[in-house]
Amino acid sequence: MLRSPREPKELYRTLLARRTTRAFDPDVAMTIDELGTVLHYVFGCHGYGTTVADVVSIKRTSPSGGGLHPIEAYPIVSNVAGVEPGIYRYSVRDHSIVRLSALHPDVARRTATAFMCGQNYFGAAHVSFVLTARFYRNHWKYRQHQKAYAGILMDAAHLSQTLYLVSAELRLGAFVTLAINGLDIEKRLGLDGVSEGVIAMTGCGPAAPGLSPLELQFTPGAPPAAPLPPAA
């Protein structure tokens, strides 16, 4: 048996703190600095470079197939101090959010819930992010590759895990889901589903005190071995 580290580094503590949250605290607003931190360290640009094919690639904190980063983020803000509730688009170029439509906080939560097929425990998050893909960013290079779309799904998965870790470091709850109503989301955001389409939704915010009955209670360590079935 391999030995676990005796004194885990801070990163490892953050990994262990990572979990899915299904109950958010409506009485505690997320701060604008927390939103800015999440956007910067999850979806933000941390540099750029030019490939041998003269393609400009940006650097994010998550990997991307071919360094192409096709994923875009549309925040749905319902409870962030200093940010008007509504649907926004995140601009990577200048690290800003552009409001697409203003919403009452309750309407923002209902909209997020409807986008996630009625999952109101996720819809109650202080900010939800619609993750879309600009397909041409990948398909111009991988248009004949059978794994091109799988690469886009992996990109969204990497970003959602990074969001979990940044949220855990900020002591925020987080979630990700593929149970989404893509048709309604694309219609609301004005996307055609071909040049740009919805992949997943994720989000974060201050968690409610205690644990939701919907959340698993984990016992430390590995589960006991299952008994062998009786001999035939």
Q: Binning pLDDT at 50, 70 and 90, where does residue 98 land? A: very high
In a domain, 9, yes or no: no
pLDDT of 95 > 70? The answer is: yes
In a domain, 218, yes or no: no
Q: Please report the pLDDT score of residue 39 as a whole number.
A: 98
Q: 127: domain range?
A: 19-205
pLDDT of 232 > 70? The answer is: no
In a domain, 191, yes or no: yes
Number of domains present in the structure of the chain: 1
| Digit-coded pLDDT (tens) for 177-193 | 999 999 999 999 999 99
Q: Please report the pLDDT score of residue 220 as a whole number.
A: 82
Q: Binning pLDDT at 50, 70 and 90, where does residue 73 land? A: very high
Q: Binning pLDDT at 50, 70 and 90, where does residue 86 land? A: very high
- Comparing 222 with 70, the larger pLDDT belongs to 70
The first and second tokens of residue 26, run together, are 């409506």
In a domain, 159, yes or no: yes
Q: Please report the pLDDT score of residue 4 as a whole number.
A: 74
| Digit-coded pLDDT (tens) for 21-44 | 999 999 999 999 999 999 999 999
In a domain, 8, yes or no: no
Mean pLDDT in residue range 147-164: 95
The per-residue pLDDT of the chain, averaged, comes to 92
In a domain, 13, yes or no: no
In a domain, 224, yes or no: no
- Comparing 2 with 37, the larger pLDDT belongs to 37
In a domain, 161, yes or no: yes
Q: Please report the pLDDT score of residue 225 as a whole number.
A: 81
Kindly report the CATH number assigned to the domain that includes residue 121: 3.40.109.10
pTM for this predicted structure: 0.92
The first and second tokens of residue 218, run together, are 């984990």
